[in-house]
Amino acid sequence: MLNLTDFSDPIRTFAIMVVAAQLIGAVATFKLRRDRRVGGGSLFMLGYVGVMIGSQTSELFVPALIPGVLGLAAGMGVFIWARVTIHGRYFSYINSRDVPEFVCSDGPYRWVRHPFYSSYLLALVGTTVMFPNPITAAGCVVAYLSFNSAAAFEENKFTHSVVAGEYVAYVRRTGRFVPRFPRVTVSTPDPLPDSRDGPRPGAG
């Protein structure tokens, strides 16, 4: 009988490969600047280390195998999509203090403001659910808080840019890490007039 826990090592290797590909790809994609802030947004690597170390100390949680692998695959897919979208455009490294000069709303940016962070979190969450333990969970939380802090910092830079107004409108229709779906409103028909009230004004 097939024992899925025997796939623990290949799945760990797959997770490491996805994470490594994302990190190497990010270094090659973004422009590194020296005027970077140091703070909560710089702790994402600690989260990565926690998830990777934690995944080595747990057996594969079989019920989470499919959603975990899908999370890793989706994370890599979104990363590639976002990277292709911004090819040839200037995007600075995380926590840089530069002032944005344009709003990107193509590709995955049409739905989320930080698709690269979304892709990293998909991979980290996918790994964590397959190898759940306090270390992977803590690493995932640290990474989320770090990316959320960095995203807030980067969004605030637009308030001082020439595209501030355009970015406000962009924020209203997009989510930070997950798409913002429009609210569905149900309209109710006007009640029929009561015949005892007599004719309504304007009635022929």
Total domains in the fold of the chain: 1
Tokens describing residue 43: 């702790």
Counting as low any pLDDT under 70, the low residues of the chain are 1-6, 33-42, 182-204
In whole angstroms, give the CA distance from residue 60 to residue 12. 9
- For residue 147, the enclosing domain spans 9-180
Q: Look at residue 203 in the predicted model and tell me its pLDDT.
A: 40
Closest alpha carbon to 94 in 178, 166, 22:
22
Q: Look at residue 164 in the predicted model and tell me its pLDDT.
A: 96
Q: Is the dihedral of CA 41, 117, 111, 186 positive or negative?
A: negative
The answer to the question of residue 202 being in a domain is: no
The answer to the question of residue 41 being in a domain is: yes
The answer to the question of residue 195 being in a domain is: no
Q: Look at residue 3 in the predicted model and tell me its pLDDT.
A: 60
Residue 36: strand, helix, or coil: strand
Q: Look at residue 93 in the predicted model and tell me its pLDDT.
A: 84
Q: Look at residue 163 in the predicted model and tell me its pLDDT.
A: 96
The answer to the question of residue 201 being in a domain is: no
* Single pTM value for the model: 0.84
In whole angstroms, give the CA distance from residue 16 to residue 69. 12
